[in-house]
Structure 1
Amino acid sequence: MKKDNSKRPFFSSKTDSEESKGYSKSNPSSKDDQRRSPKKFDPKNDGKRSSGPRNWKQDENRDRKGRFQKDEESKFPKRTLKPRPDFAKDEKPKKFEKKFDKAERRDEREPQKRTYLGRGKDQKPIFGEKEQAHKSSAPAKKGFGKNRPKAPIMDSDRPDYNFDALPSKKSKAEANEEIRLNKYIANSGICSRREADELISKGLVSVNNEVITELGYKVKKSDRVVYNGKRINPEKPVYLLLNKPKDFITTTDDPMDRKTVMNLVGNACEERIFPVGRLDRNTTGLLLFTNDGELAAKLSHPSNEIKKIYQVTLDKPLTKKDEEAILEGLTLEDGPANVDDMQVLSKDRTILGLEIHIGRNRIVRRIFAHLGYDVTALDRVMFAGLDKKDLKRGHYRFLSEKEVIKLKFFI
């Protein structure tokens, strides 16, 4: 009779005896478990694990030291830990400060000074950056009179002007004419009129042994005026002619710290002098300095029509049509520009001689820019009958008495 195998799973093809044998393969000595069990580390085998099953009985008598404790005979030194900082002290912890390079500090970087570099063909000003010059730590001397910096004078042949023998000298009544006290102090070379008003208001000036604090007080030239314990007198007249070089602006003081014409004549005399008229930064030639306000007003006023002669260098040859237009007279934005005379001095027609009496700002450059020319060089060779014969560029000389008389009474 056949055995009922209906309860046996249909996928099992093994007999009961084979299945009973299969459970016995779960012992640790089976081949599958030998592959999965970890191999014993053998230090004599160059750090490689020994093949074969691990013998747990041999490990019973192994050292029972700490797993992470090193032997005293170890080749590696013991690691020493740094002591922990004591935060219980009263010392405040240092703040974290990040250091930046100077180039990264854009806010603290000083702005570079802009320098006036001239004008283009459209007569618009051009500005550029100026390198900061090295400044000495010694304080510079400023002021007038004794406080002016002293340096060797380039030309010490200064004449003493005497106009008393002239037939057109002033009468005694005009000599006793009263002038304002601040003008009297300014003419003495101590300071300007504004600074003189401050000295008067502080009570530092006395007239005929009487302290004056009234602004607008008038004095005579014969009065005794004392400041800071010393009597002051109106300064002597000074007349000085400079052959101006390039890159110097015509002003007594410049807030942008550019080179001025006063740097060239600052040590010529102790009196306070100022330029008559002005020349552009890139224009060279004659420039008159004086402390005679009456003469300066006479030479600067356009109604006197003071003659000036320039040598003009253009960027391209001047055409005959444009030459005729200039001699006939042009009309610019601010009015007519009439020229007294003009001559071509070079064969290539780029160097000209121009005689003019107009004193408007940049009038010569604007005349040629109106016709499409660019003035590359401009030199004033004659001013009010004065020339620059035997006067080097950047040097100055004092006017003779005859030259001063001609300027004051015959022009």
Structure 2
Amino acid sequence: MSTQDNYDSGRGSKKPGKNARKKSMARGNAPLKNEGAPRKTGRQQDPTTRSKPKLKFDKDGKEIGRRPKPVVQVKKSNPADGIRLNKYIANSGVCSRREADTFIATGLVTVNGEIINEMGHKVQLGDDVRFDGRRLNPEPKTYVLLNKPKGFATTDSNSKGMTVMDLVANATTAKIKPFGRLGRNATGLLLFTNDDEFVQKFMKKGITRLFHVELDKNLKQEHLKKIREGFKIEDKEIQVEDISYVDKAPKSEVGLKMKHTGNSVIRMIFESLGYDVVRVDCVTLGPLTKKDLPRGRYRHLTENELNLFSMA
């Protein structure tokens, strides 16, 4: 059989012959990809889903065209609206809110002297709320000791310029007030508290305080003796616990121990005898001292210190 016969025989049987030319897969002959067929991925894609647009930024680095997230307005409670009476009672540590409702209904609670039976009644922190005759305080009892510097008025009024309240503003969230007074230019220990029972107790009996007083001239021995024995000024009896010269200091400096809670009485004493007070410094207040308490700083009283006060 000739070579041509072999070739024709291969074409007729649709099988390539021994010497048949293979189909080339060179460029131009490669099969075309099916552009309409979706890509096979691990997760089936939705052909209707649009791709995310590319982020664009302006010259300041801020995104352009991005929709801002809506701001959710949270309504804050207004302290001026007051707090519910049962919560006020519960915060004072007397009982739970549910029990407080029972006490309110039975007429055991008064607000500013009036019996309140209304459920949901609201009160202010400054109201006089009493349970079975005892005044309640919805805040924990707080006691703060300050070593007062010069230039601050002893008041909680905002109309007096710089006050001692500015110095203890970050000490506590409780509504504390100064107990006793020190003049604007006086220095030393000053106590703050929200404990009304404590204040009432020591307003009546007083707290012994030791003052370091500096005068414009030496204090005469006869005047020192007169102050120690007590005397009257404008029909007002002046009593001190003790007075003495300060050791290793001029005779113009004295230590004065007394229970008066006011500061003006010190100037009254010495001015009545012909002296001007140059400086007043409260060195001790009851069992408290200035140890480890720099000028202008404050600290909270310890449990042991409170026990010493209760023994007084």
Displacement of 1:180 in angstroms is 3.6
2:217 is aligned to 316
2:120 is aligned to 211
Change (3 A) 1:393 1:371: same
Displacement of 1:247 in angstroms is 0.9
1:240 is aligned to 144
Matched to 1:290, the amino acid is: T
1:353 is aligned to 255
> Which string of whole-angstrom CA distances, capped at 9 and with x for unpartnered residues, describes residues 363-385 of structure 1?
11111111111110000111122
Distance 2:121 2:159 in 1: 33
* Pairs aligned (count): 205
Displacement of 1:348 in angstroms is 2.5
1:279 is aligned to 182
Contact map agreement 1:368 1:375 (CA 8 A) in 2: yes
Say if 2:267 is the partner of 1:365.
yes
Larger Rg: 1
Give the secondary structure class of the aligned counterpart of 1:255.
helix
Q: Percent identity?
A: 38
Say if 2:293 is the partner of 1:391.
yes
Matched to 1:355, the amino acid is: K
The TM-score normalised by the length of structure 2 is 0.58
Contact map agreement 1:309 1:380 (CA 8 A) in 2: yes
Contact map agreement 1:310 1:382 (CA 8 A) in 2: yes
Displacement of 1:283 in angstroms is 1.1
Contact map agreement 2:224 2:244 (CA 8 A) in 1: no
Matched to 1:389, the amino acid is: K
Contact map agreement 1:181 1:219 (CA 8 A) in 2: yes
Change (3 A) 1:343 1:255: same
Contact map agreement 1:144 1:272 (CA 8 A) in 2: no
Matched to 1:287, the amino acid is: L
Say if 2:243 is the partner of 1:342.
yes
Displacement of 1:361 in angstroms is 5.3
Give the secondary structure class of the aligned counterpart of 1:322.
helix
Change (3 A) 1:214 1:388: closer
Distance 1:282 1:410 in 2: 32
Stretches of structure 1 that go unaligned for 5 or more consecutive residues are 1-142, 146-172, 184-196, 198-205, 222-232
- The 5 Å alignment of 1:6-405 reads 178-181=108-111, 210-212=119-121, 234-256=138-160, 258-301=161-204, 304-345=205-246, 346-360=248-262, 362-405=264-307
Distance 2:140 2:292 in 1: 26
Displacement of 1:239 in angstroms is 0.9
The TM-score normalised by the length of structure 1 is 0.44
1:23 is aligned to none
> Which string of whole-angstrom CA distances, capped at 9 and with x for unpartnered residues, describes residues 147-190 of structure 1?
xxxxxxxxxxxxxxxxxxxxxxxxxx9xx99554479xxxxxxx
Aligned CA-pair RMSD: 3.6
Matched to 1:383, the amino acid is: L
Give the secondary structure class of the aligned counterpart of 2:222.
helix
Distance 2:216 2:251 in 1: 10
Contact map agreement 1:144 1:270 (CA 8 A) in 2: no
> Which string of whole-angstrom CA distances, capped at 9 and with x for unpartnered residues, describes residues 65-93 of structure 1?
xxxxxxxxxxxxxxxxxxxxxxxxxxxxx
Contact map agreement 2:180 2:262 (CA 8 A) in 1: no
Distance 1:342 1:260 in 2: 30
Matched to 2:298, the amino acid is: Y
